[in-house]
Amino acid sequence: LVLLSNIQPVVGSSSEIINRIQSVHTKFQQEGPTIDVLNTIDLLVKDLDEDDHNTYKDQLAQVYFKKSLIEISLNKIKSAIDDLIKVLEIDPLMKPAQNKLIDLLVEQAEFETIQKYLDSKDEKHQKIDQDIKEWGKSLAKVESLVTSKKLKDKEVEECLNTLDDVLIPFTPSNPLLYQYRLVCLKKSSLNLDNFKPIIKTLDKLIKLQPMKDLDNYSDISQLLLFTQTNFGQSWHFVKNCLRINNDFKKCGSLSKMFVKFQNFLKLLEDYSIWQGHVYLISEESSNKIEDIEIDWEFANKFLFENSLQVSKLEMKNLPRKVKSNYDYLMHKADEFSKEFSTDATKLSFTQDLNKFACESFIQLKDYKNANQFCKSSVNDDINENPFFPKHVPKIDKLLKEKNYQEAANLLNKFNKNVKGTQLFLDRLKIIEAYDKKRQQQQHFRQQQQQQQRQRQYQQQQQQQQQRQKPANDYYKILDIARDADEKTIKKAHRTQTLKYHPDKYKGNDLTPEQIEHKMQEINKAYEVLSNKELRERYDQGDDPNDPMGGQRQQQHHNPFGGGGGGFQFNSDFMRQFMKQGNGGSFHFGGFGGQRQ
């Protein structure tokens, strides 16, 4: 590589010049379009210009062309145009340089200069010439609109559409068009949606003409701060403004405020960004939102107790109502809203500041002072992504009154991101603790009920066994054991029949009627015990010869049948509650707002 220090200010021999040119090409290939490469080429061009152009004519044109490409990459458009013109002075037939120059001149709207480089025989150049004429007609239309004192919404729309669809696409580097765009935007009915295109337009103007109008820096700085709560970018533009002119009053005034309020404004910006994530309406993202860490006591004291962070001179010019740093920031937002003809209460800065003030008092449990800021922070609907700190006092009141069901109903209205904040979790833990205690009590009651039912069951079993004993003891009637087999039963039946047969009974203790009844009992006993199925029924307490026996048995079967079984309770309440983070609903099973 040829270093800048190695290049001599004298031309040198032909071979030396060729080597230097080759070294520049190599350096460009290795490093790309850098300032260092551009400086190396500048020195080479200077030496070549001192020599006879005819000697290195081809090389000089190529070097100038490469120099222009580097300048384009480094956004040095004016220098690139000058160098491309030199290329064509050296070599008028160098087509790439001609096309590149025409492109740059079109972008800059340098239409007078471009005419000498357009070839009337070239179809592309003919098209460019025609487009220039049409562009001129559209420009005249826009100029008539921007010079009007007042524009209707339809005319503003026409102005912006002509600029965005026709003029700017053809000449994107023409600052005049962005100035006209700014005028049209400012003549429209300003609302928060209009400020974004104004910021975008100012940013483009500053890039195209960084030193032309320093008011653009102060305007974009205020717009970024008050309409987007973007303190970082806001201060960036103020610093750039003062680098150009350290005495520019508007930027200087903003800088003084930023220096004194920088810690809080940075904190407010972080809070605004965090709020944007927490209250994001879309529930598609599964990413967990980390809770923001803020020294709320320090921040609250800065806003409402610390001395005003302004100079004595500025303090004299402030309204009497400005007594705190919070008042001062709201005063600055009010000044901005008047300058830009918008509603101060709808500014992002104002809403974020009031939300911050609201939450700072809520975090410190100063609900009385929080009230005015929470009310003015947002006019939110509890059913549509509400601001949680605003509703904390009501939730805490319900918890204090032990109205856990109603408190849970309110907590349930917040999105899953809010449910991850510590402020929310602190309230949820109270309900969680109550629910755990309630479940323990419920479990204890269930155990008691189960034990009671078990005792009742045992008592019923004993009573049932007594009731299940048949009125007729067939085994006793046949004088056999309960495990007697079929043969024994037949033998016993025969024996008892012979014994009590009316014609063969030898005793004198029974009347004929009693003997007949005895024979009936013997026959019934044999009829049941000799039949396998009837014997099984009898052994279970169901006498086939006793119609009432089955009914008594049915009445006391299954003490747990029918209603009045175990108490039903959804014990996993907390899992059910947290699961509904995507918008479902939950219920305390059997809990119904009871107080305890």
Q: What is the mean pLDDT of the chain?
A: 83
**How many of the other CB atoms lie within 10 Å of CB of 399?**
18
Number of domains in the chain: 4
Boundary (domain end) residue, out of 431, 464, 497: 464
Residue with tokens 């007697």: 484
Q: Mean pLDDT check: name the lowest of 142-151, 452-461, 486-495, 550-559.
A: 550-559
Take residue 316 and report the two structure tokens written for it: 């004299």
Query: Cβ distance 205 to 175 under 8 Å?
Result: yes
pLDDT at 286: 63
* Confidence class for position 279, pLDDT limits 50, 70, 90: confident
- Enclosing domain of residue 288: 191-373
Does the pLDDT of residue 586 top 60, yes or no?
no
Q: What is the pLDDT of residues 27-81, one digit of tens each?
A: 888 778 888 888 888 888 777 776 654 666 777 888 889 889 998 988 888 999 9
- For residue 240, being part of any structural domain is answered with yes
**Same domain? 278 vs 352:** yes
Q: How many beta carbons lie within 10 A of that of residue 150, not counting itself?
A: 6
427 and 298 in a common domain? no
Can you give the pLDDT at residue 182?
Answer: 92
Residue 148 is assigned to a structural domain of this protein: no
User: Between 152 and 57, whose confidence is greater?
Assistant: 152
What's the Cα-to-Cα distance from 87 to each of 65, 76, 95, 217, 258, rounded to whole Å?
6, 17, 10, 37, 49
> Which pLDDT does position 222 carry in this prediction?
97
> Are residues 237 and 355 both part of a single domain?
yes
Q: Indicate whether 211 and 268 sit together in one domain.
A: yes
Query: How confident is the model at residue 283, as a pLDDT?
Result: 54
Band of residue 25 on the pLDDT scale cut at 50, 70, 90: confident
Of 223-227, 451-455, 564-568, 581-585, the least confident? 564-568
Residue 375: per-residue pLDDT: 86
Q: What is the CATH number of the domain that holds 517?
A: 1.10.287.110
Establish if 173 belongs to a structural domain.
Answer: no
| Of 116, 121, 123, 122, nearest in space to 101 by CA | 116
Note whether residue 581 is domain-resident. Answer: no
**What's the CA gap between 84 and 65, in Å, rounded?**
6
Three-state secondary structure string covering 283-325: CCCCCCCCCCCCCHHHHHHHHHCCCCCCCHHHHHCCCCCCCCH
Residue 58's CB is within 10 A of a number of other CB atoms, namely 11
* From 212-221, 348-357, 441-450, the region with the lowest mean pLDDT: 441-450
Lowest mean pLDDT of 87-101, 147-161, 378-392, name the range: 378-392
Per-residue pLDDT tens over the stretch 223-247 = 999 999 999 999 999 999 999 999 9
Do 308 and 399 fall within a single domain?
no
Do 218 and 310 lie in a common domain?
yes
> Of 125-134, 216-225, 369-378, 455-464, which has the strongest mean pLDDT?
216-225
* 449 and 483 fall within a common domain: no
Q: Is residue 109 very low, low, confident or very high in pLDDT (cuts 50, 70, 90)?
A: confident
Contact present, 356 and 268 (Cβ < 8 Å): yes
Report the percent of the chain where pLDDT is more than 70: 84
- Whether residue 335 sits in one domain with residue 201: yes
pLDDT value for 223: 96
Task: Give the pLDDT mean for 82-111.
Answer: 89
- DSSP of 441-482, one letter per residue? HHHHHHHHHHHHHHHHHHHHHHHHHHHHS-SS-HHHHHT--T
Q: Per the structure block, which two tokens stand in for 237? A: 């533009």
SS3 125: helix
Question: Please, are residues 313 and 291 in contact by the beta-carbon 8 Å criterion?
Answer: no
197 pLDDT band (50/70/90 cuts)?
very high
CA-closest candidate to residue 241, choices 223, 209, 260, 218: 218
Asked if residue 175 is part of any domain, the answer here is no
Sort 525 into a burial class: Cβ within 10 Å, 0-12 / 13-18 / 19+.
buried
Question: pLDDT at residue 440 above 60?
Answer: yes
Among 446, 464, 482, which residue terminates a domain?
A: 464
Query: Does some domain include residue 398?
Result: yes
Instruction: Please give the average per-residue pLDDT across 509-525, as a whole number.
Output: 88
**Phi, psi of 3, deg, nearest 5:** -75, 155
Q: What is the mean pLDDT of residues 297-301?
A: 96
CA distances from 204 to 28, 124, 142, 172, 179 (A): 29, 29, 19, 10, 10
Whether 215 and 348 map to the same domain: the answer is yes
The pLDDT-based confidence of 9 (bands split at 50, 70, 90) is very low
How many Cα atoms occupy the beta-carbon half-sphere of 142 within 13 Å? 27
Judge if 275 and 308 occupy the same domain: yes
Does 59 fall in a domain? yes
User: What does the pLDDT average to over 297-320?
Assistant: 93
d(CA 335, CA 225): 13
Which tokens belong to 375? 């009310």
Tell me, what CATH number does 30's domain have? 1.25.40.10
Q: Would you say residue 169 lies in a domain?
A: no
pLDDT at 280: 79
Q: Phi and psi at residue 180, in whole multiples of 5°?
A: -65, -40
The span from the CA of 68 to the CA of 590, in Å, is 81
| Contact in structure between 396 and 427 (CB atoms under 8 Å) | yes
459 shares its domain with 478 = no
Predicted confidence (pLDDT) at residue 192 exceeds the cutoff of 70: no
Lowest mean pLDDT among 203-212, 235-244, 533-542: 533-542
560 in Cβ contact with 407 (< 8 Å): no
Q: Are residues 326 and 421 in the same domain?
A: no
Residue 7 pLDDT: 37
Answer yes or no: are the C-beta atoms of 331 and 318 closer than 8 Å: yes
Give the end of a domain, one of 345, 373, 401: 373
8 pLDDT more than 60: no
